[in-house]
Amino acid sequence: KAGVTQTPRYLIKTRGQQVTLSCSPISGHRSVSWYQQTPGQGLQFLFEYFSETQRNKGNFPGRFSGRQFSNSRSEMNVSTLELGDSALYLCASSPNPGKDTQYFGPGTRLTVL
Amino acid sequence: AQSVTQLGSHVSVSEGALVLLRCNYSSSVPPYLFWYVQYPNQGLQLLLKYTSAATLVKGINGFEAEFKKSETSFHLTKPSAHMSDAAEYFCAVSVPTGNQFYFGTGTSLTVIP
């Protein structure tokens, strides 16, 4: 089976712009979670989607949003980018939410200038 | 609520020495526990997981971890460190009835030749 894929792998944006990141889960996985990873804060949970519904949301401002499509692919969007949004954004998929092992993609490295 | 504490954000060992990475968890119900490894500029890769079967869990690359309920610990060990083990290691907890993973802050392992 193909693993979790994330596109693009690298992005450079300027402050105030918006960005959309994409995640394709492992075939058959219906749950997709997003994390932000920075050197100072470590791995921080953004949100989780299951069957096109957001089930959980972390403590991030409303500028961060996401969605999941009927084929389980997910996108996350960040509007009005700030310098502090520079991070590695990781997507993870699992068959079901919660206890199932999460399988991670390689991440999207976002740099905000 | 669940949480994970990883003691020691940086650990250095000599090549061939024992690797011990510490993880303590907090959970109101029997947890599922995971260790992941992250190499530079990559996503997280599952090393091993505990899901209430045998308390000693063997994973990939010679790593193992022991679930100790009385100590609420799930420490990761490897008898002999290799240079290729240098990476960031994350401990995570979830619960069977829950819907979110909780990650520790990570431990960076350096292997000295």
**B23: nearest Cα among B79, B95, B61, B72:** B72
Whether the predicted pLDDT of B98 surpasses 70: no
Q: What is the DSSP letter of B18?
A: P
Closest CB from B45, B46, B94 relative to A98: B94
CA atoms within 13 A on the CB side of B57: 23
Question: Region B7-13: what's the mean pLDDT?
Answer: 94
- According to the model, what pLDDT value does residue B16 have? 97
Q: Residues B33, B101: contact at Cβ < 8 Å?
A: no
The answer to whether residue A109 neighbours chain B at the CB level (below 8 Å) is yes
User: Residue B98 and residue A98: Cβ atoms within 8 Å?
Assistant: yes
At residue B2, the pLDDT reads 77
pLDDT at A87 over 80: yes
Tens of pLDDT, residues B40-95: 888 899 999 998 778 899 999 999 999 999 999 999 999 999 999 999 999 998 87
Average pLDDT, chain A: 93
What whole-number distance in Å separates Cα of residue A52 and Cα of residue A39?
31
Strand runs (DSSP E) across B6-100, as ranges? 10-14, 19-21, 24-26, 32-38, 44-50, 56-58, 64-68, 73-78, 87-94
Contact state of A106 with B42 under an 8 Å Cβ cutoff: yes
**pLDDT for the residue B99:** 66
* Amino acid found at A25: P
* A73 within 8 A of A5, measured Cβ to Cβ: no
* Token pair for B2: 């669940």
CA distance A99 to chain B (A): 5
Higher pLDDT, A59 or B99: A59
A24 contacts chain B (CB < 8 A): no
Q: Which residues of B touch A (CB under 8 A)?
A: 32, 34, 36, 41-46, 49, 51, 90, 92, 94-106
> What is the rounded CA–CA span in Å between residue B34 and residue B56?
12
Q: In this structure, are residues B40 and A95 in contact, taking their beta carbons and an 8 Å threshold?
A: no
Cβ of B100 and A56 within 8 Å? yes
- Of chain B, the percentage scoring pLDDT greater than 90 comes to 72
Rounded to a whole number of angstroms, the distance from the CA of B31 to the nearest CA of chain A is: 9
* Chain B residues closer than 8 Å to A104 by CB: 36, 43-45
Any residues with CB less than 8 A from the CB of A113 and at least 6 apart, and which? Answer: A12, A13, A14, A15, A83
| Alpha-carbon span A32 to A24, nearest angstrom | 9
A57-84: average pLDDT: 96
Contact A43, B103 (CB under 8 A): yes
How do B10-14 and B107-112 pair as beta strands? parallel
Average pLDDT, chain B: 91
Cβ B25 vs Cβ B72: under 8 Å: yes
Cβ of A104 under 8 Å from any chain B Cβ?
A: yes
